[in-house]
Every structure is written in structure tokens, then in C-alpha cells.
Amino acid sequence: MRAYFPLQSFLVVVFVILMGYYYYFDYCLNLFLFFNYILYLFLWIFNCEAQFFVQIKRKLTRVREREKEGDEHISNIIMYRCFHHFSTLPLAFVRRAAANSYVNCHIGPSAAESISMLRIIGKESLSDLMTAVIPENILRSPLKEAPAMSEQDALSLLHSLGSRNKVLKSMIGQGYYESITPPVILRNVIENPAWYTPYTPFQAEISQGRLESLLNFQSMIIDLTAMDLANASLLDQATACAEAMYLAFHHGRKERMTFFVSRDVFPSCVEMVKTRAEPLKIKVVVGDPNLIDWSDSSLCGILVQTPDAMGMLHDFTTLFEKAKQHGVVSCCGTDLMASVLLKPPGEMGADVVLGSAQRFGVPLGFGGPHAAFFAVKEEFNRLIPGRVIGIKVKTRRVVRPYAWRFRRGSNILRRNAPHPIFVLRKRS
């Protein structure tokens, strides 16, 4: 707007001169107002266009500096040069260039980085690099296509090739154990597309019975761990350990900033706890559970495991009693298969019980992730992570068939509750 102010001043001067010499005040005034309105119309149009391109200029201010350093994408440089030399820029080109910039920024090295790496190895282009690396007979010759085969022949060939591999026994363990899954379960549950091809995202939970399956899963976890409440699973055991630390931290009203982890816990779980604790400013202490300093008033929770990473069994009843006396949340990692025969952590007095459900017939899947279970005592029902499936029965005089309905019950939570609760209702 300021750039067009001299033109407006010129019109004012012309108006004063005409009014003084010819005394045509009304005519001059109307003429001045007409030209003034036309001027403001053009100013409004140009100002809208300028505001649009000013936003683009602000995003490209650093392009001119990085262009000299060779640290910017070519698409950004081209977009800046086009905008610098022309007063207008097609919006489609801006969007296309921005999309190319996003791809170059997040997928692989940028064009400038590729050129820099090629200069270091003494090549001018990627084609020259491929020519130097790949033999000529492979690079220039057409690809050989195998003759067509039937499905049975292809499976036989793959089986013969696979039989040449030497399969070794993995003894790493660390919470992942190979198990035998019955083919009927593999075919009808894991490989059944009805579980992962829903028509709608919410009706699938009703028609496929997923909520009822999750409810059965929660009931099984509660029975095996001897706890009061279980969620519908988490990502993996390491994530469950991190959530247990956050639960203890939240239960301590964010005043206790120390969390103890047993040295016998799986290393992946220890690292996940440390990673989650860093942004929360929580101090993670790894050591022997028998040497815990109970006089430390900043201790919010402890994490132990049985069976531990070495396969040793422990009875933490005394340890959990001490933790309860000092107001410390006791978390215990366990194995569901071991809980079938051994004393469950819930009977030992643990506040939180967690672990992996992979032992119950789930394939290894090259390391997961596998579903983790998370169970708590009743006093921690508002702090349990993930989602919880429950049942609500409406009693009526006339007994009718029940149908499952899914409803989000986030309105029943506190405002500071960290995770939502889902309710499975029964209605007639």
C-alpha cells in the first residue's frame, strides 16, 4: 500500500488545482472520488496478491543463503529463481515444488547431497557410478525371465531352495520364544481376512466380535495374573514397562522423580524405560533389587521381573510389602506361561503386572512387535494405559436377546486421565 501512496498524493494535487482554477467543486470532487475508488480497487487486488507471495517469500528466505553452500534441494532453488524473476507464480507449480521438496527432505539424500557424494568418489552422475559398479554384461543385457510355472511347480521349487538353508536354533530368548500354533488357528484367526478388512471402522468391532475377543483376553489376563483390571493389550513388553514407569510417576503426583529397574529385566525393556524417562526428567536407577535405598523419598516405583532375563524365578512378596510401606508402586514383569503353574505376581502383592502375550501361540514374526498385557490393582484403574473393554447390562422387565454395541466412554474419565476407556454395552 505504501508503494502507491505517491499516486494518491498526485490525485489530491490535481483536485486542488482544478478546484482553484475552474471552481468546479462538485465535478472535481466526483472525479477525484472516482479515481480514488479505482486506485483503492487496484491496491486491494495487488495487496491480496502480494500477501500470497509474501508468505512464499518468507518460506524461501533461507534458500538464497543455502544455495551458495550447496545445502538446499534443487527443486527449492528452481522455485526461488522462478519467483525471483517473475512477479507471479502458478499455484500448481508451487504445490508441485513443495511436494518434491518434502520427498527430498524425508526420503533418501537430497539432490545436493547426492552431487556432493558423487564428487567425493570422483563420479559425475549416478549413471557413471552404476556403470563403474555393475558389470557391463549385466547392466546392458536384458533381464532373463524364467518360464511360466504352475502354482504347484512354483511351490515345489521354492521348497527345494528353502531346504538348502541351514536352520539354526536361536537361544537368545529375551521374551521371544518359538511356539507351535495349530493350523486351524492360523487359518481361521490369524490368516482370516475378516479381521483386517472391515467395511466400516466401528461396525467391524460389532460384526466381527473383536470387542468380545478383547474382553475374553482381558479376563484371561486377570485370571492368570491375579489382578483386578487388565487393558486390551499394548504394543510390546518394552512399551508396557515404559507405561508402568509413567503410571508410577503419575501416581506419585509427579513429585517423586526416581524409578528403580532391576538389572535382571530384559535389556530392551531397560532401554525403553530410559528413553521414555528422559523427556520426563525421571531418574532411572538400574541395580540389584535387594539393595534398594528405601530411605529415598523421591522413589516413585520399582520394576522387577520373574522369570528374569536369565530364566531365574523369584518370589518378590517381601519386596512388594516394603514398597507398599514406603508408598512406592511395585511393577512386575512376568511370563503368562509361567503364571499358569507358578505363583502369580498379583498374589505376591504387585501393583502392576505386565509382559508379552507372544508365548500363547503367536509366531515370532521376525521379532515382533507382539501384544503386551498390562494388569493393575483396583486403585490404579484411572491410570491404566491403553483401552479397557467393559460390560454394561441394562435390566428390563422383558427379557430379550442382547446385541453388542460399541460406545466410547471418555466422558466418564477424569480430565487428567492419560488414556480413554471403551465400554462394551449390552442392550435389548
pLDDT averaged per 10 residues, the chain (length 428): 51 55 52 60 56 56 53 45 42 46 67 84 88 84 85 93 86 81 81 67 58 84 94 91 94 88 94 94 94 91 94 94 94 93 94 92 78 93 85 51 36 45 44
- CB neighbours (10 Å) of residue 346? 23
The boundaries of the domain holding residue 297 are: 209-378
> Quick one: 336 and 421 in the same domain?
no
> Quick one: 256 and 399 in the same domain?
no
Strands 352-356 and 372-376: antiparallel
Question: Tell me, what's the pLDDT at 272?
Answer: 94
CB 308 within 8 A of CB 175: no
Question: Tell me, what's the pLDDT at 86?
Answer: 40
Q: Which residues 6+ apart lie within 8 Å of 72 measured at CB?
A: 62, 63, 66, 110, 112
Say if 85 falls within a structural domain.
Answer: yes
> Quick one: 408 and 366 in the same domain?
no
Which three three-digit cell numbers place residue 236?
Answer: 510390546
Kindly state the helix (H) or strand (E) to which residue 52 belongs, with its residue range.
Answer: helix 25-59
> Quick one: 334 and 395 in the same domain?
no
Say if 407 falls within a structural domain.
Answer: yes
> Quick one: 47 and 90 in the same domain?
yes
d(CA 97, CA 90): 11
> Quick one: 397 and 290 in the same domain?
no
Question: Tell me, what's the pLDDT at 103?
Answer: 64
Q: What is the pTM of this model?
A: 0.58
> Quick one: 394 and 367 in the same domain?
no
Question: Tell me, what's the pLDDT at 184?
Answer: 86
> Quick one: 369 and 414 in the same domain?
no
Give residue 286's Cα distance to chain centre. Answer: 27
Peptide bond into 369 cis (omega under 30): yes
Say if 393 falls within a structural domain.
Answer: yes
Which three three-digit cell numbers place residue 234?
Answer: 499394548
Say if 184 falls within a structural domain.
Answer: no
Say if 302 falls within a structural domain.
Answer: yes
CA atoms within 13 A on the CB side of 273: 31
CB 336 within 8 A of CB 365: no
Domain boundary pick from 106, 139, 163? 106
Domain boundary pick from 52, 72, 106? 106
Question: Tell me, what's the pLDDT at 28?
Answer: 55
Virtual torsion, Cα 54, 60, 62, 66, nearest 10 deg: -150
Written as one letter, the residue type at 127 is S
Which three three-digit cell numbers place residue 164?
Answer: 538348502
> Quick one: 50 and 89 in the same domain?
yes
Specify the CATH number for the domain of residue 263: 3.40.640.10
> 3-class SS at 146?
coil
Rg over alpha carbons for the chain, rounded to the nearest Å, is 35
Domain boundary pick from 84, 106, 128? 106
Say if 156 falls within a structural domain.
Answer: no
Question: Tell me, what's the pLDDT at 367?
Answer: 73
Q: Number of structural domains, the chain?
A: 3
Q: Which residues 6+ apart lie within 8 Å of 68 measured at CB?
A: none
> Quick one: 28 and 67 in the same domain?
yes
Say if 383 falls within a structural domain.
Answer: no
> Quick one: 337 and 417 in the same domain?
no
Question: Tell me, what's the pLDDT at 351?
Answer: 96
Say if 233 falls within a structural domain.
Answer: yes
> Quick one: 234 and 323 in the same domain?
yes
